[in-house]
Structures are given as C-alpha cells and as structure tokens.
C-alpha cells in the first residue's frame, strides 16, 4: 500500500531540494575581500550559507507536482486544495536550513496530512460499550463495501475483549445475506436473530435488541443491506432503523478501493443518515490510499479501523502515524 504515492512524493520533494542545490554553490561563495570584515557580517554570511528562502516560483512548481501526485492517487480535490493551501502557508517566507531542507519539507507534509486524518479512539469506544447494555452498533454502506465481513471481524475483536455479541440479520433484501451472516456467526461464535427475506429490517433489529436484553448480551451488531444513497426506499429503511432502534453508534463501511467514489458515498450517507465512525475495508489491496485521507477530511468523522484482509483478525487499528510513515518514508 502507498508505494506509488511514496515514490511520487519523494520525486516532488526532490524537485524543490534540487532547485535549491543549484543555487547553493553560487550563494555560499564568500568574496575574498569581505572575508576580513567584522564578526557580525561573517555570522550573516554563515547564516546565508546555511539557510535559504524558497522562492515563490519554486513553491508553485513543488505544490503543482504535489497536487498532481495526490490527485493521481484518488485524493479528493478539496482535500488536495486544503493540503496545498496549508503547505503554501507554511513554506512561503520560511527560512529552511539547507542541510535539513528535505527533512523539513517532509515534516511539513506530515503535519498537514496528519491534521487531515482523524483517528478514532478505540479506548473511548470500549468505554462507551461498557456504559450501555446492550450497546447497539449499526453498519451502513453501499453494496459490497464489506459491511457483513466487518461486522464479523468486529464481533471477533469484541469477543477477544470479553464482550458477548448478537447480530441482527437486517439485510432482508439481498439473496443469501442471512446465510452469509450465519456462516460467520458459527465461525466466530455469536447468535444471529433473523426473520424472512423481504421482512421489515427494523423489526429484526428490534428483536435482536430484545434478545440481547433478555439474555444479558453486551453488544448488538446490526447488518444492513448495501444501498446506493440514491435509492430512496432503502435509505428510508435505514432511517427507520435509526429512528426505532436508536443505535449508540453508526459505522459507515467504505471500500477504500472505490477511491474518490467512497468520498461521495461517505458524504451522502453522512448527510442522509449520519454516522459516527468510518471503517475502510480492503486497505490490504489499496495501492493508492487516497480514500483514507479524503473520507476522513470530507466527513470529519474519525476512522476507527482499517480492514486489511479476509481473516477475522484482519481488522487493524487506524493509527495515522502508520499511514503517514508509509506515505513518506
Ligand atoms: N481483501 C479484503 N477483502 C475484504 C475486506 N473486507 C471485505 N472483503 C471482501 O469483500 C467482499 C464483500 O464483503 P461483504 O462483507 O459481503 O460486503 P457487504 O458490504 O456486506 O456486501 P452487501 O451485503 O452485498 O452489501 C467479500 O468477498 C469480502 O471477503 C478487506 O478488508 N480486505
Ligand atoms: Mg452484507
């Protein structure tokens, strides 16, 4: 993941640092006559030799390259604009020590990218789960984004933390969705509450909550049918589940391979339904990584986990340092 973006970013950084190298020889040459001048001037000369104000032209070329690199890697346009604007603010009129210029620019990019990435606190979520019994989590997203798999992974994760789970088969729409959830439930070890296909998704969730209350189960995980935000009926169904069940947390599950599209989906789901966290799946096959940056910035909702494979254990904590490291080092 990120290999391509990493290579491109270092090429962009090289443009600015090599432009600097060209001027270095010229600027460091100290005229013979002035070498005897008083100390303060010598100090000034030394300062001139070690620092350099980057010209506006150099900044423009650098930022253009950087913008292109981000755009090529599925980072949404408004995110690119934000990163570019912040970097320009940081770079203009700034004296950067020559010896450290490459490092310094990397640091600045890291700072700006870091401000865009919102990281959720797993600890906080666990503390919240402890406050309510049962704690209710609703999964939403478009078709095939990885909702059901992620639900099973989260059940596996929660089980390891000592919480019991029950799943609501509220995808009553897609053929075989209930059987798929049941297969996961057998492997991970949680019960599934189900009705027939075509029945009311909110009613299934209601029964799952009742079951959890009766059996003292800690967490209810509600699986839902994948839907495009333009599908009014299915969006109304989600809205009904939210209204009737009042989940403590709604998680938007997005496919990071969808690139820029996932940003639009996240925005629409956020506007129409509202959610608290994002989980981006298929990060193991996502070479570009732009969706992760963009979804976080556009929705202003923190990323809770990344799906990093097809095994139940492949649910990785989202640590922005890790992403930035992969991106820039
Ligand atoms: N490589 C990889 N594959 C994943 C990941 N998460 C989910 N998948 C795969 O993506 C496919 C779709 O996953 P589902 O969990 O069925 O997706 P869904 O959102 O429930 O789909 P619908 O119910 O049809 O809307 C499956 O083949 C999963 O194995 C992941 O993190 N990495
Ligand atoms: Mg599903």
* Model pLDDT for residues 130-186, shown as the tens digit of each residue: 999 999 999 999 999 999 999 999 999 999 999 999 999 999 999 999 999 999 999
The finding on whether 228 has its CB within 6 A of some atom of ligand 1 is no
Residues 145 and 285 in one domain: yes
Domain boundary among 51, 84, 116: 116
My answer on whether 227 and 132 are in the same domain is yes
Q: Is the CB of 144 under 6 A from ligand 1?
A: yes
Do 110 and 135 belong together in one domain? no
Confidence band, pLDDT 50/70/90 cuts, at residue 33: very low
Q: For residue 105, give Cα distances in angstroms to 77, 121, 319.
A: 21, 29, 22
Say whether both 108 and 168 belong to one domain: no
Q: Is residue 275 part of a domain?
A: yes
Question: Which atom from ligand 1 is nearest to the alpha carbon of 177?
Answer: 23
> Is the beta carbon of 146 within 6 A of some atom in ligand 1?
yes
- Which residues lie closer than 8 Å to 247 by C-beta, 6 or more apart? 136, 137, 138, 222, 241
pLDDT tens, position by position, 47-65: 544 566 667 787 888 888 8
- Total residues belonging to the chain: 329
185-209: average pLDDT: 98
Q: How far, in Å, CA of 140 to CA of 10, rounded?
A: 37
If you measure from the C-alpha of residue 281 to the centroid of ligand 1, how many angstroms do you get, rounded to a whole number? Answer: 8
Name which of 15-29, 72-86, 160-174, 199-213 the model is least confident about. 15-29
- Which of 142, 278, 292, 310, when mutated, tests ligand 1's pocket best, judged by the most ligand atoms within 8 Å of its CB? 310
Answer yes or no: is pLDDT of 39 > 90: no
Give me the CATH number covering residue 294. 3.40.50.300
Side-chain half-sphere exposure of 73, counting CA atoms within 13 A: 26
Asked whether residue 100 falls in the same domain as residue 142, the answer is no
Q: Is residue 328 part of a domain?
A: no
Q: Residue 46: which pLDDT band, with cuts at 50, 70 and 90?
A: very low
Closest Cα to atom 21 of ligand 1: 144
Query: Which residue shows structure tokens 């059996």?
Result: 215
Please indicate whether residue 172, judged by its CB atom, sits closer than 6 Å to ligand 1.
no
Query: Which residues touch 85 (CB under 8 Å, ≥6 apart)?
Result: none
Maximum separation of any 2 CA atoms in the chain, in Å:
93
Same structural domain, 33 and 146: no
Domain identity same for 74 and 157: no
In-domain check, residue 101: yes
Torsion angles phi and psi, residue 227, rounded to 5:
-155, 150
- Specify the residue for token string 């270092």: 10
Range of the domain at 107: 3-116
Q: Are residues 205 and 297 in the same domain?
A: yes
Ligand 1 site, residue 147, Cβ cutoff 6 A: yes
Neighbours of 102 (CB within 10 A): 17
């Amino acid at each position: 993941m990120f290999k391509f973006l990493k290579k491109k970013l270092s090429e962009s950084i090289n443009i600015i640092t090599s432009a600097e190298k060209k001027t270095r020889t010229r600027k460091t040459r100290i005229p013979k006559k002035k070498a005897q001048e008083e100390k303060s001037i010598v100090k000034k000369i030394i300062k001139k030799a070690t620092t350099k104000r980057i010209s506006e032209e150099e900044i423009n070329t650098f930022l253009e390259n950087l913008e292109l690199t981000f755009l090529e890697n599925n980072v949404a346009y408004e995110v690119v604009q934000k990163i570019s604007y912040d970097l320009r603010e940081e770079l203009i009129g700034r004296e950067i020590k020559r010896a450290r210029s490459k490092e310094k620019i990397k640091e600045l990019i890291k700072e700006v990218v870091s401000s865009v990435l919102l990281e959720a606190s797993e600890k906080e979520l666990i503390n919240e789960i402890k406050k309510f019994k049962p704690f209710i989590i609703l999964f939403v997203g478009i078709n095939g984004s990885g909702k059901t798999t992620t639900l099973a992974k989260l059940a596996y994760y929660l089980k390891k933390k000592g919480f019991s789970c029950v799943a609501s088969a509220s995808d009553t729409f897609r053929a075989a969705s209930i059987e798929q959830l049941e297969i996961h439930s057998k492997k991970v070890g949680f019960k599934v509450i189900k009705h027939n296909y075509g029945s009311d998704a909110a009613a299934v969730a209601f029964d799952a909550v009742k079951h959890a209350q009766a059996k003292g189960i800690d967490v209810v995980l509600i699986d839902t049918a994948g839907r495009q935000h333009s599908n009014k009926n299915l969006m109304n169904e989600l809205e009904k589940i939210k209204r009737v069940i009042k989940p403590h947390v709604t998680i938007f599950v997005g496919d990071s391979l969808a690139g820029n599209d996932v940003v639009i989906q996240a925005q629409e789901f956020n506007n129409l339904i509202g959610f608290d966290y994002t989980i981006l799946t298929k990060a193991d096959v996502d070479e570009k990584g732009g969706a992760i940056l963009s979804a976080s910035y556009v929705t202003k909702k923190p990323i809770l986990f990344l799906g990093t494979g097809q095994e139940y254990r492949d649910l990785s904590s989202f640590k922005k340092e890790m992403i930035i490291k992969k991106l820039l080092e």
